[in-house]
Amino acid sequence: MCPRSLYARLAFVLAAGMLSGGIQAASESLPAIHADASGGGVELGIKEYTEVTRHRPVDKSVTRLGKKESSKSTTDHSKLKELQGPFHSGPEVTEACLKCHNKAGDQFIRNKHWTWSFHNPKTGQQLGKRYLVNNFCTNAAGNEGMCAQCHAGFGLKDSRTYDFSNQKNIDCLVCHDSTGTYYKLPPTRGNKACAVLFEGKPAIDWTRVAQSVALPGRNNCGACHFYGGGGDNVKHGDLSSALFKPSRDVDVHMGEDGENFACVICHVGEGHQWAGSRYAPIAKDTQGKAKPGLPRQTATCESCHGDQPHGDLGLMGIKLNDHTDRVACPTCHVPSFARGGVATKVEWDWRTAGRTRNGVGYREEGYVQGNGESRHTYKSIKGSFKYAENVVPEYRWFNGTEIYTTVHTKFDPSKPVEINHLEGSGDDPGSRIWPFKRMVTYQPYDKGNNTLVYMHLWGDDKDAFWGNYDFARAIAHGMKDFDLPYSGEYGFVKTYSYWPILHMVAPKEEALACRECHAREGRLKNLAGMYMPGRDHNVWVDRIGLLAVVLTLLGVLGHGALRILLARRRKAS
């Protein structure tokens, strides 16, 4: 263990000990239990997190348009005398980086990867990982010791006290390492049960990684973003480890046999600010392509493809282009998500969390995903899960505005609570039909105040849920840490969160056929606020119309039959 993290751990243990009124936590701390190979059995930490930032198959993706796979950089970083090291820690490397890139630090500390904070000017809501409650592991606030494994900085253990102006703590390497050997660990060690996360890690060769910096490949961004929510593809549904080295039928843009784009081709960035916000997305891009030679700093499909993208299909293209004002591109072009063999979590039930066997947590495996790997369907630290692959999205009107249920929002617990309510309707010209993954969770809430709660999950103390399995203490601790009102009584509320689906764009020949939506029982069966040919009809026009045709048929048949009958009678007489 390096001295830095030992010190950190000691400080944390002491702090936790003081909070709990004694130092008995310290005496319970270290005995490590070893992981079983099967993946089932006792709970030995959070196996899924061991892959975060660690599993990084290096890709040779296109990071700049108009150039061959690797850009012809004018600088070979391995030859720079400033990078000869030797380096022994991240901040040392960062200091060297910032000596030449002397504006990068100031740029970087303003972006969300660092601030974990976003103030939405449209809704006035304070968003960002530092504040929000989601319906996966719920809150990063107070659990930074674990969650900040994916903070693009060093040593974020408590966002209330962290110095967000200290540029030396920027982690340049997590995004710029091109060797695939750099990794991050949780800033604190948490409960003894989580020891497995820290075991068997090779030492980082700081000098080597410092000399191998490059523009971020998929493995850099994916190291965290493919593991959001606590594991491979748990959160987004359309961002999984299948995108490290995908084929073009999984993602036509990132496919190694396709465009082989890195994330930054679409999420264009200048000065360490990237396009493509999930908090304030552009639901309808009416600007389209920029003038030739003038790139647009947005991540919308339209910024490359234009808002009339089906032109090469002739007259059929005109009809398809008719759709773009009301239907977002991924609605047709992402036929299903969680493709490529990696499942996504679709249901999470915290109510079952905390069961133990012989006093220790355990886990169960119950799902084998497309690529053959098995996933846990129960974990004492988190509860029960359901997974799905090749999922047909939910479709909703969306105008880009999301109203979040934050830890301060009062709600009616008798109905499912929308973590992020999507604004938009068919009557709103700024809305389009978008595909979403809907996450369904039963999670703790404050029964007295009808609000969501912060849980104290991570820590080496007697309150941390991960290790002690006691909701009452974990919630009380989590709320107290942030001076939030807590009635002292918790229950479980059903929550939904919506994740826009726009990665895993399929090749055009796999785009949805018209009938997928233009049908009575199609994908948009339940979407109100519009008339859609093939799905909608006025019941009475149809009934009266059909009745008129049938009656006319019967009428002429009767008329004809009577003529024949009477003609025969006349003949006979």
Partner 1 sequence: MSLHKVKVFTRFERFWHWTQALLIFTLLFSGAGIHGYHQLMNFESMVWTHVIAAIALIILWIFAIFWHLTTGNWRHYLPTTDGLFAVARYYAYGIFQGEEHPYRKRYWHKHNPLQAASYLALKTLLFPLLWFTGLAYLSYGFWSQGPLTSDALYWVAVVHTGAAFAMAVFIVIHIYLLTTGHSFREHVRPMLTGYDEVDLTEAEEAYLRQDEPGRILD
Compare residues 11 and 561 and give the one whose CB is closer to partner 1.
Answer: 561
Span from 80-88, 276-284, 319-327, 485-493 in contact with partner 1 (CB under 8 A): 319-327
Environment class of 176 (CB within 10 Å of its CB; exposed 0-12, middle 13-18, buried 19+): buried
Q: Which of 84, 273, 374, 552 binds partner 1 (CB under 8 A)?
A: 552
C-alpha 33, offset from chain centre: 31
Compare residues 27 and 286 and give the one whose CB is closer to partner 1.
Answer: 286
Beta strand 273-274 pairing with 269-270: antiparallel
Contact 435, 501 (CB under 8 A): yes
Compare residues 79 and 570 and give the one whose CB is closer to partner 1.
Answer: 570
Among residues 498, 398, 393, which one has the least CA distance to residue 435?
A: 393
525: contact with partner 1 by CB under 8 A: no
Contact 199, 213 (CB under 8 A): no
Compare residues 429 and 448 and give the one whose CB is closer to partner 1.
Answer: 429
Contact 411, 450 (CB under 8 A): yes
558: contact with partner 1 by CB under 8 A: no
Closest approach, Cβ 566 to partner 1, in A, equals 5
321: contact with partner 1 by CB under 8 A: yes
Among residues 184, 158, 181, 6, which one has the least CA distance to residue 90?
A: 184
How many CA atoms, within 13 angstroms, populate the side-chain half-sphere of residue 401?
13
Compare residues 10 and 318 and give the one whose CB is closer to partner 1.
Answer: 318
Among residues 186, 75, 212, which one has the least CA distance to residue 466?
A: 186
Q: Which of 76, 427, 483, 509 binds partner 1 (CB under 8 A)?
A: 427
- Total number of residues binding partner 1 (CB under 8 A)? 44
Q: Which two tokens stand for residue 6?
A: 């030992």
519: contact with partner 1 by CB under 8 A: yes
3-state secondary structure string across 113-142 = HHHCCEECCCCCCEECCCCCECCCCCECCC
How many CA atoms, within 13 angstroms, populate the side-chain half-sphere of residue 130?
19
- The residues, ordered by sequence, that sit 6+ positions from 545 with a Cβ below 8 Å of its Cβ are none
Among residues 393, 418, 425, 424, which one has the least CA distance to residue 503?
A: 393
Span from 195-203, 316-324, 366-374, 483-491 in contact with partner 1 (CB under 8 A): 316-324
549: contact with partner 1 by CB under 8 A: yes
Compare residues 75 and 531 and give the one whose CB is closer to partner 1.
Answer: 531
From residue 373 to residue 412, what is the string marking binding to partner 1 with x (rule CB under 8 A)? ----------------------------------------
561: contact with partner 1 by CB under 8 A: no
Closest approach, Cβ 422 to partner 1, in A, equals 18
Closest approach, Cβ 553 to partner 1, in A, equals 6
Span from 151-159, 194-202, 258-266, 549-557 in contact with partner 1 (CB under 8 A): 549-557
Q: What is the torsion angle, in degrees rounded to the nearest 10, for the CA atoms of residue 335, residue 337, residue 340 and residue 346?
A: -150
- The residues, ordered by sequence, that sit 6+ positions from 93 with a Cβ below 8 Å of its Cβ are 87, 172, 173, 206, 209, 210
Q: Which of 68, 559, 572, 573 binds partner 1 (CB under 8 A)?
A: 559
Compare residues 58 and 532 and give the one whose CB is closer to partner 1.
Answer: 532
Compare residues 100 and 547 and give the one whose CB is closer to partner 1.
Answer: 547
Closest approach, Cβ 108 to partner 1, in A, equals 41
Strand partners, 489: none
Closest approach, Cβ 567 to partner 1, in A, equals 6
Q: Which two tokens stand for residue 41?
A: 């059995």
CB under 8 A, 24+ apart: contacts of 138-141: 138/443, 138/444, 138/452, 138/453, 138/454, 138/455, 138/457, 139/407, 139/454, 139/455, 139/478, 140/116, 141/407, 141/454, 141/478, 141/481, 141/482
Q: Which of 22, 295, 311, 429 binds partner 1 (CB under 8 A)?
A: 429
Please report, as residue ranges, which positions from 526 to 545 form the binding site for partner 1 (by CB under 8 A). Answer: 529-531, 533-538, 541-542, 544-545
- What's the longest Cα–Cα distance across the chain? 122
Q: Which of 515, 526, 572, 573 binds partner 1 (CB under 8 A)?
A: 515
Helices marked H in 76-193 — which ranges?
90-100, 104-108, 112-115, 144-147, 173-176
Span from 102-110, 199-207, 260-268, 420-428 in contact with partner 1 (CB under 8 A): 420-428
Q: Which of 315, 414, 483, 526 binds partner 1 (CB under 8 A)?
A: 315
Contact 393, 336 (CB under 8 A): yes
Rounded to 5°, angle at Cα 137 from 168 and 51: 60
Please report, as residue ranges, which positions from 461 to 490 form the binding site for partner 1 (by CB under 8 A). Answer: none
295: contact with partner 1 by CB under 8 A: no
Compare residues 357 and 563 and give the one whose CB is closer to partner 1.
Answer: 563
Q: Which of 76, 570, 572, 573 binds partner 1 (CB under 8 A)?
A: 570
Which stretches of the chain bind partner 1, using CB under 8 A? 315-316, 318-319, 321-322, 325-326, 426-429, 513-515, 518-520, 529-531, 533-538, 541-542, 544-546, 548-549, 552-553, 556, 559-560, 562-563, 566-567, 570
